[in-house]
Structure 1
Amino acid sequence: MTSGGGTTARIRPQQFHETAGLEDWRVLGEGACAYFRTGSFAAGTRFVQAIGELTDLGDDHPDIDVRRDGVHVRLITLTDEYFGMTGRHVMAARRISEAAGALGLTADPSFVQTVQVTVDALDGPAIVAFWRALLGYEHRAGSPEDLVDPRRRGAPFYFQPMDAPRPQRNRVHVDVWVPHDQAEARIAGALAAGGRLVSDADAPHNWVLADPEGNEACVGVAGPPGPATD
């Protein structure tokens, strides 16, 4: 495959993971993410400044969350037409990793995750309208029945159609997107903590779990990688 660096061509998670030089990054449900340990807030701000000085990232600026001991970076395109990754993110990920290396920072891919709230709905448009007004969210490009935070901070809401009422099971659950190489450990930890496996029919991309009282949650993986190629 071609890396797509510097292009606006859309790419899938599998393509991103198959590209060499992106070992710091993991594709989750909401784009490519990396976490760099800094050890202090001051070191984190210096790293953010270094990212800001990268002149070849174009207009597709990353989402950055600075905390006391680390910096989380997310790469995703959010427009009226598209919500996802492009070839530009391959180049951006490499350049950000280079900036981190120049400052002596290392990535911890096990530290990244994203969370999505899923609602089962009989009347999708009515349910979506309510949650959009309540949250102040916007329709997601490419799937207008779903909602995203225009401030790019809160968890997205996904609405899943139902054919009939389902009183015996909960209708709102959390989807936890984890790195492809962390799913097994995360599921094992949840089961050891009293959970149970409801379904692995969609493994290795999705597992349905339940807590001791039957409240469900899903563990999701975006594109397990194949052999690395350039």
Structure 2
Amino acid sequence: MAELLSDAQVAEALAGLEGWHGNGKAISRTVKAESFPAGIRLVDAVAEVAESLDHHPDIDIRWTSITFTCATHSKGGVTELDLNLARRINDLVQAMGAR
């Protein structure tokens, strides 16, 4: 099982993850899609990746703004699972033209 990361470990990891912020409790990133349907396509793509990893973000959709929040709830904070998911989300954001 993944180990809980300290605030310092999370801060160090976030330095290399564009757009993400947070602490040892959770990390988040908000992106803007070109349109509402484009945002939903991004959410759908993230859902597919999350299912394959068996690790799921909290997702908040507000028209063309989508916020992804990652935390390992069973551990009570951020683990390497969350950082890996954040990297995968960044790949999808870039591939799908969100910003």
TM-score w.r.t. length of structure 2: 0.85
Contact 1:57 1:92 in 2 (8 A): no
C-alpha RMSD over aligned residues: 2.1
State the SS of the aligned residue for 2:86: helix
**Pairs aligned (count):** 98
1-structure distance, mates of 2:11, 2:53: 22
* Cα distance per residue 1:124-170 (max 9 Å; x no partner): xxxxxxxxxxxxxxxxxxxxxxxxxxxxxxxxxxxxxxxxxxxxxxx
Higher relative strand content:
1
Counterpart amino acid of residue 21 in structure 2: R
2-structure distance, mates of 1:58, 1:75: 13
2-structure distance, mates of 1:56, 1:17: 26
- The answer to whether the aligner puts 1:43 opposite 2:38 as a matched pair is yes
Shift of 1:30: 4.6
TM-score w.r.t. length of structure 1: 0.39
2-structure distance, mates of 1:89, 1:54: 12
Q: Say which of 75, 80, 83 aligns to 1:90.
A: 83
The 1:15–1:30 alpha-carbon spacing in structure 2 relative to 1, beyond 3 Å, is: closer
2-structure distance, mates of 1:35, 1:22: 13
Determine the structure 2 residue equivalent to 1:24. 19
- The answer to whether the aligner puts 1:103 opposite 2:96 as a matched pair is yes
Determine the structure 2 residue equivalent to 1:14. 8
2-structure distance, mates of 1:62, 1:8: 16
Bigger relative contact order, structure 1 or 2 (CA pairs below 8 A, ≥6 apart):
2
Determine the structure 2 residue equivalent to 1:191. none
* Cα distance per residue 1:34-82 (max 9 Å; x no partner): 0011142211101001101216752221000111121000001113xx3
Higher relative helix content:
2
- The runs of 5 or more residues in structure 1 that have no matched partner are 1-6, 107-230
Contact 2:39 2:65 in 1 (8 A): yes
* Cα distance per residue 1:150-205 (max 9 Å; x no partner): xxxxxxxxxxxxxxxxxxxxxxxxxxxxxxxxxxxxxxxxxxxxxxxxxxxxxxxx
2-structure distance, mates of 1:21, 1:29: 16
Shift of 1:23: 2.2
Structure with larger Rg? 1
Identity over aligned pairs, percent = 33
